[in-house]
Amino acid sequence: MNEDFLQKKLQERKDQHAFRQLRLPDGKTDFYSNDYLGIVKNRLLPPPEPGLASGSTGSRLLAGNYLLAEETERALAAFHGAEAALLFNSGYDANSGLLGCLPQRGDTILYDSLSHASIRDGIRLSFAQSFSFAHNDVDDLEKKLTTVKSGHIFVVTESVFSMDGDEAPLEAMAALCRDYDAGLIVDEAHATGVVGARGEGLVQQLGLEQACFARVHTFGKAVGCHGALIAGSGQLRDYLINFCRPFIFSTALPETAVHAIRESYRLFPGLMAARQQLQLLIRQWQQARLPYETLLSGTPIQGVIIPGNEAVKEMAARLQENHLGVRPILYPTVPRGKERLRIILHAFNTEAELQQLIQMLMETK
């Protein structure tokens, strides 16, 4: 088969200065990973216990179910104030699977315009109609809700947005969902481990557990391991086991992976000092007066807008030359004109390191 069509598409990416390549860790100061609490960097999780299986040998419905998985689901459901929970291999699988199987033909999905790709892909797999609402705009959400005349309604958002770092107005959204009998689905990927006194997430910090139809918590960020869960009712868990294709047709997480999840949930709720250090660094960043448009948030995710793929890549390269690991976020990942440096703060970053980054940004304008 002639591969010219591949080359054509790759060349388009190169012409847009948006060509992606894999890179290995290079020892630079980490302002880019999602290891917010330093669980991975500091090797805080114990090694797997002897005797744990490295593979699950099948899907949960065939050979891949085991006691540790079910015990962990019960423990995590209790931690997150849910009746039940179901483990998934990744946050992408959880979002795409949930939204691909839950809404039916004749139903409506209303989703935040800045929702993650896994949410959008799940919506595409659904037979429901879908409409976006303006980012974090409850007035626009209500306008969309008033237009739905039949079927079930699902409102989907992230609690902390992965590119802007801002928080969804969950209390107002939950109130609207109550008024319009809509199911609220919240992706807590970037809040788990970080938001709340014990890292339980924004939903629980606001006391909205019972207002949510489903919540997605992922483990590849602050939790420091791999996988995800969907928390909700026992009936939702049964539904997913029966209808969610990524769950039904994927080989299950092995015991070694689930053991790491369980150990992290024993560890990260007690990392109060790490969360306090994060807040100190966030305040330090917010007090800087950078000569750029900035997307300030109360979370570890901060943005510095440098429009244009080429321009933001050049700025990231300058910082990297000075041993500062900062990654550019390019169009089409973000809207054209909103290309940015995505600054990620961590509990292991020092005030001196952050000040060096701020000073470099001041000097490179």
pTM above 0.75, yes or no: yes
Does residue 80 form part of some domain? yes
Asked whether residue 277 falls in the same domain as residue 135, the answer is no
pLDDT value for 25: 84
Given 144, 190, 259, 338, the catalytic residue: 190
Does residue 151 form part of some domain? yes
Does residue 312 form part of some domain? yes
CA distance 160 to 184: 15
β-strands 84-88, 228-232 pairing: antiparallel
Total domain count, the chain: 2
Sign, CA dihedral 142-148-152-156, equals: negative
Given 30, 34, 107, 338, the catalytic residue: 34
Count Cβ atoms within 10 A of the Cβ of residue 278 and give its class: 0-12 exposed, 13-18 middle, 19 or more buried: buried
Cβ contact 120:141 at 8 Å: no
Asked whether residue 235 falls in the same domain as residue 137, the answer is yes
Asked whether residue 263 falls in the same domain as residue 302, the answer is no
Q: Which of 269, 300, 317 is the last residue of a domain?
A: 269
CA distance 99 to 240: 10
Backbone torsion region of residue 204, taken as left when φ is above 0, otherwise alpha when ψ lies between -120 and 50, otherwise beta: alpha
Asked whether residue 22 falls in the same domain as residue 87, the answer is no
List the structure tokens of 25.
């860790």
Closest CA to 37 of 266, 230, 192, 231: 192
CA distance 76 to 317: 41
User: What 8-state DSSP symbol labels residue 253?
Assistant: P
CA distance 313 to 134: 28
Which ranges of the chain does DSSP label H, i.e. alpha helix?
Answer: 4-15, 67-79, 91-101, 117-125, 138-146, 170-179, 202-205, 234-243, 245-248, 255-267, 272-287, 309-321, 351-363
Asked whether residue 256 falls in the same domain as residue 278, the answer is no
List the structure tokens of 125.
């797999």
List the structure tokens of 72.
């962990």
Asked whether residue 172 falls in the same domain as residue 306, the answer is no
CA distance readout (Å), 259 to 70, 99, 120, 227, 240: 12, 27, 31, 11, 23
Does residue 215 form part of some domain? yes
Given 35, 166, 187, 353, the catalytic residue: 187
CA distance 113 to 346: 27
Does residue 189 form part of some domain? yes
Asked whether residue 214 falls in the same domain as residue 277, the answer is no
Does residue 146 form part of some domain? yes
SS3 label, residue 157: strand
Asked whether residue 202 falls in the same domain as residue 105, the answer is yes
Q: Which of 211, 236, 269 is the last residue of a domain?
A: 269
CA distance 243 to 126: 12
* Tens digit of pLDDT at every position of the chain (365 positions): 999 999 999 999 999 888 988 988 888 999 999 999 999 999 999 999 899 999 999 999 999 999 999 999 999 999 999 999 999 999 999 999 999 999 999 999 999 999 999 999 999 999 999 999 999 999 999 999 999 999 999 999 999 999 999 999 999 999 999 999 999 999 999 999 999 999 999 999 999 999 999 999 999 999 999 999 999 999 999 999 999 999 999 999 999 999 999 999 999 999 999 999 999 999 999 999 999 999 999 999 999 999 999 999 999 999 999 999 999 999 988 999 999 999 999 999 999 999 999 999 998 76
Closest CA to 152 of 125, 124, 180: 180
Does residue 232 form part of some domain? yes
Given 93, 158, 166, 263, the catalytic residue: 158
Cβ contact 241:70 at 8 Å: no
Asked whether residue 30 falls in the same domain as residue 83, the answer is no
Supply the range of the domain harboring residue 333. Answer: 15-37+271-363
CATH of the domain at 160: 3.40.640.10
CATH of the domain at 28: 3.90.1150.10
Asked whether residue 221 falls in the same domain as residue 249, the answer is yes
Cβ contact 246:96 at 8 Å: yes
Is 323 part of the annotated catalytic residue set? Answer: no
pLDDT value for 365: 66
Residues in contact with 332: Cβ distance below 8 Å, sequence separation at least 6, in sequence order: 18
Q: Which of 269, 300, 328 is the last residue of a domain?
A: 269
Is 209 part of the annotated catalytic residue set? Answer: no
Given 96, 115, 162, 349, the catalytic residue: 162
Given 80, 116, 313, 346, the catalytic residue: 116
Asked whether residue 197 falls in the same domain as residue 169, the answer is yes
Is 187 part of the annotated catalytic residue set? Answer: yes
CA 142 vs. chain centroid, Å, equals 25
Is 116 part of the annotated catalytic residue set? Answer: yes
Asked whether residue 227 falls in the same domain as residue 331, the answer is no
Is 30 part of the annotated catalytic residue set? Answer: no
Does residue 283 form part of some domain? yes
